[in-house]
Structure 1
Amino acid sequence: METIDVGGARRVPWNKGKLSGQKLPLKLREIWAIRIRLQHAGSTRDLAMVNLAIESKLRACDLTRLRVSDVCHASHVAARATVMQQKTQRLVRFEITEQTRASVKAWIKASALASDDYLFPSRIYGSPHMSTRRYARLVHRRIRSIALGDSTYGTNTMRRTKASMLYRRTKNLRAVQLLPRHSTLESTVRYLGIEVDDALEMAEQTDV
């Protein structure tokens, strides 16, 4: 990979030396390993963020820009939320389970966030919310904490985890397609990292 010459200064690409491509999803035991470590460490923010990232399946840019009002009704964390995706300009709806609601509520209370505040505010002056780069570092740190090689995991891991778990459980591609709101089955195939022929065969078997 070549360096980039910008205004006479040579800049090294951010992903130099890193593996690119589809990232692996987490398994259930790995999710729980991360959760237990965060609970023991008293890391209220990171626990809420990890839980919400997995359940919402949002891209990093959408997750970090969530406001409290996006997931809360008055003082209660909602069981369902709807947000506009920046990349596609489509509304996406997701469920928030009781466990995740509890962790989000604990974070909001601990940080005294108001309804109009960003759910994950930045700790850097002048930056209103956590950056995607900071979120990526958080994800990699939590991956390493359970002895997984973080070169094959990343923020896209959080997006893919719940859909991959549903696919492994049901083999129902049509159901999985609805989670990230893919417009085509082929998009879901790429998202899950499975073979197209196998996907089409499974889709035919699961159609009603």
Structure 2
Amino acid sequence: MIRLLLVDDHTAFREALALICSIEEDISVISQAGSIEEARKYIQSVNFVLLDLGLPDGNGVDFVREIKSSNPACHVLVLTGSMNKLDLARAIDAGADGVMLKLSRVQDIIQAIRCISAGGSIHSPQEIAELLLLAGRARIEDANARDKIGQLTDREREILQAIAEGLSDKEIAARFNITVDTAHKHANNILRKLDTNSRLQAVLFALRHGAISL
């Protein structure tokens, strides 16, 4: 028997899918959860998790790793609305047994649950290899980005944040009680360390890798 946990913060979608799954003779819907915190209560009671990546209290990819660590026998099928292939690649790299879009037909989702539960795969070996390669490249890029960001001094991070807020060199100088020339030099150092050609590129790079916020 497939003991299923559905984890999705979209209540209407989750409840509708749970209702349809519960009709199937070989699927028992153990519970539903709208958050990672709520889902943790049921991980040891199920052998299959249908998981959305976009959850309100954490990263779905990280939760895939947590599920596989705490209950290695549990299968995880990621069902997401994200069209970003890197998101899907990271889920597979984290240990998900498969990834599908929410746009998929319900019967295709149920068929995928059965296939994975029986030890099969919904992806071809070539597709898995491509996704793992993509995730591997992303890990290298993330590591390189962390190294670049790590070169920034505390003051440079503050100035980069100010640039992201739209401040001019004159306004930055006034905020940090430095000269306009010093503010300009700090900005140039930031571009050099992040290997970017413009302030906009530097801001986008820092935002993408969590070094600053808006």
Q: Which TM-score band (shorter chain)?
A: under 0.3
Larger Rg: 2
Question: What is the TM-score normalised by the length of structure 2?
Answer: 0.22
The structure richer in helix per residue is 2
The structure richer in strand per residue is 2
